[in-house]
Amino acid sequence: MQPDLFANPQMPKTRYQGSKRKLATWIADCIDHLDCHAILDAFSGTASVGYELKRRGRQVTCNDLLRFNHLIATALVENRSVRLADDTINAVAQPDQSGNHERLIEQHFSGIYFTDDENRWLDAAIHAIRQLSDPHESAIAHHALFQAAIAKRPYNLFHRRNLYMRSADVERSFGNKATWDTPFDVHFTRLATEANAAIFDNGQNCVARCGDAMSIEPAFDLVYIDPPYINGKGQGVDYRDFYHFLEGIADYPNWRQRIDMSSKHRRLIRTPNPWTNPATIHDAFCELFEHFADATLVVSYRSDGTPSIDELVAMLKRVKQTVDVIRYDAYQYALSTNRTSREVLLIGR
């Protein structure tokens, strides 16, 4: 099925740090000419690239280690036709806050990220979502809730205890306060409606999975690889730390025992990750390239990353005859102050 047969669905906007949403068209254009049908997005994040490839009629499998990213891919890539009815959206947006439900956020996150009233709403809304029996309905509702929570956060992150930034009576040179002060139910309703409009069937069996990319059977024509980024100074991006609050929502029944109560901002207890450690990331790349050696390998990267571009090319050449290096020089990530790093796409064939 060709893209012009679709009703021109669009990936919903996101404030997720590192999202490839604005680069997805460029990335898909760079691989359009390759002979590939079944594609694995091995570190799918918010599924922007997987969604664009789905729009182009490919059979896409989105994988991510984080549960909340898996739910986003389930809602927007795996899902073919399920949408949230208006009464379902209203049931989540206006939940019964007096009911007999878990009050984990109210009890453990007071004064950290959201106001007490917002925390009560979150617990009740999560309870309402958990009553949805259809997994795709639940995934859409989770997606809208995640995006609402990000929108109401300074810097769109959960990396520190900084609720005071929203309430401080200071002169501001930016317009985020209006977004912060918009009630959760308003954000949720708008974002759920946007997600409904993004859902479509491309005629292929697209799948969302959650787990280690190395555990996936290597049965794909092309593997797209966009792992967590470590810069040239060895400083990594740990999305689990940045978005632990969303990961907790996604695993709400087990969240309480996963919280690091010694941390001021109630992050999750940390677990080792070879992709966020400069001492192990070289081996992680080599093992992944070997594992998927029979597929075309496409790596999204930054020009100042660890490993370096030259090192990655050398690793790819161990399993591929040809490695193309394509640069996108005009793009800078939101909130980034790095004016020299550039987006790079490596294609091993």
Is 50 exceeded by the pLDDT of residue 4? no
Structure tokens at 303: 């020009």
The mean pLDDT of the chain is 92
Tokens 């609050």 locate to 245
Higher-scoring residue by pLDDT: 271, 168: 271
Structure tokens at 62: 């989105």
Which tens digits make up the pLDDT trace of 89-123?
999 999 999 989 999 999 999 999 999 999 999 99
Q: ∠338-304-12 over CA atoms, to 5°?
A: 60
Q: Within the chain, what is the greatest distance between any pair of CA atoms?
A: 63
Which tens digits make up the pLDDT trace of 246-279?
999 999 999 999 999 999 999 999 999 999 999 9
Which tens digits make up the pLDDT trace of 311-326?
999 999 999 999 999 9
Q: Which domains does the chain show, CATH number per domain?
A: 1-81+202-233+277-349 (3.40.50.150), 85-198+239-272 (no CATH)
Closest to 68 in 3D by CA, of 144, 146, 159: 146
pLDDT (0 to 100) of residue 340: 63
Kindly list the distances between the CA atom of residue 298 and the CA atoms of 47, 91, 169, 214, 222, in Å, as whole numbers in the listed order. Answer: 16, 42, 48, 16, 7
Higher-scoring residue by pLDDT: 65, 338: 65
First-to-last C-alpha distance (Å) of the chain: 25
Which tens digits make up the pLDDT trace of 190-201?
999 999 999 999
Is 70 exceeded by the pLDDT of residue 187? yes
Mean pLDDT of the 145-171 span? 89
Tokens 């909130």 locate to 335
In whole angstroms, give the CA distance from residue 146 to residue 131: 17
Whether 139 and 235 have beta carbons less than 8 Å apart is answered as no
pTM, two decimals, is: 0.93
Higher-scoring residue by pLDDT: 36, 174: 36
Mean pLDDT of the 59-70 span? 98
In whole angstroms, give the CA distance from residue 310 to residue 212: 26
pLDDT (0 to 100) of residue 6: 43
pLDDT (0 to 100) of residue 305: 93
pLDDT (0 to 100) of residue 225: 98
pLDDT (0 to 100) of residue 73: 98
